[in-house]
Structure 1
Amino acid sequence: MKNYCRPLKKSNVYFLGPRIYTTAVASLIKTQIMPSLLFCGPKLAACGIVLSIWGVIMLVMLGIFFSAHSAVLIEDVPFTEEDIRNDKNPPQTIYGLYNQVGYNCFIAAAIYVVVGGVSLCQVRLNKRNEYMVH
């Protein structure tokens, strides 16, 4: 907002783009016309942060365990019996699938980090919106 609407020498006149407006008109433009980045409430934003933290922790741990070729997670590796029968080196194929699933977990964790960042921005915008005078 600082780039678009700034006061001229501590007066009640504002510069907004190529035009100069009074304080009342500039306030109306900032609140009514300019789009807001706020699209969810404070409770939904807090829920998004909690789910993002949980998702990042869980998916990073799963990614580590898949990359370490944990035998407990063999049921979650996408392979068929034909893949093993027709292959000359089945362990390397299974290890490659383990690594691919591990990479997918790390990518999903990165997406959860982005969602958590957006949720954090929403929480901050909601707090800022509480202090604004309408």
Structure 2
Amino acid sequence: METPRDKETTKRSLEESRIETPLSVVKKRTCLAQTPREYQRFNMAFCGYKVSLCGLVLSAWGLIQLFFMAIFFYLKSPAFIEDLGLEGPFANNDQLITAVNRGFQQNAFNCLIAACLYIITLAVSGWQFYLNQKTTYQV
């Protein structure tokens, strides 16, 4: 006859030897992910609150600066004539004017490309700031 102690031992060994199927693991993970402690484990934040805030500020500043620089290059502002990178002597004024116009156009295009990259940086920093702000207030 089986004693209560043997039944308990048998029950424990059956529970320990049970193999988890992938479906049961998924069910456990989804149940665990709803608790605040497990939520932090699945968080996609790869930088902290201060770094993401710094990235937001620098990205916004860089975006505004490069956008205005692109406008001024497009309008051929004489303040940016030194940034054109003109090389060599020119045979006549037409070649100089063509090189200056091409330089202004190329620099305006480069500033717009850099501004677009800052938009991506701003989006990633904003996303990280949102994730860090969301997890900061959890108790």
TM-score, structure 1 length as denominator? 0.71
Partner of 1:75: 82
Partner of 1:14: none
| Rounded Cα–Cα distance in structure 2 between residues aligned with 1:127 and 1:25 | 19
Partner of 1:105: 111
Aligned-residue offset at 1:90: 2.2
- Give the one of 69, 72, 75 matched to 1:65: 72
Partner of 1:42: 49
Q: Residues 49 and 129 of structure 2 are in contact (CA less than 8 Å); yes or no, is this contact kept in structure 1?
A: yes
Higher strand fraction: Structure 1 or Structure 2? 1
Secondary structure of 2:44 counterpart: coil
Pick 1 or 2: higher relative contact order, CA cutoff 8 A, min separation 6: 2
Report whether the alignment pairs 1:123 with 2:129. yes
Q: Encode CA deviations 1:30-56: one digit per residue, 9 max, x unaligned.
A: 655x5x420111111111111111101
**Larger Rg: 1 or 2?**
2
Higher helix fraction: Structure 1 or Structure 2? 2
| Rounded Cα–Cα distance in structure 2 between residues aligned with 1:26 and 1:43 | 27
Report whether the alignment pairs 1:94 with 2:93. no
| Rounded Cα–Cα distance in structure 1 between residues aligned with 2:65 and 2:76 | 17
Q: Residues 86 and 99 of structure 2 are in contact (CA less than 8 Å); yes or no, is this contact kept in structure 1?
A: no
Count matched residues.
Answer: 114
The amino acid of 1:57's aligned partner reads: I
TM-score, structure 2 length as denominator? 0.69
1:11-22 alignment, distance < 5 Å: 18-19=23-24, 20-21=27-28
Aligned-residue offset at 1:128: 1.5
Identical counterparts, % of pairs: 31
What are the ranges of 5 or more consecutive residues in structure 2 without an aligned counterpart?
1-21
Q: Residues 73 and 108 of structure 2 are in contact (CA less than 8 Å); yes or no, is this contact kept in structure 1?
A: yes
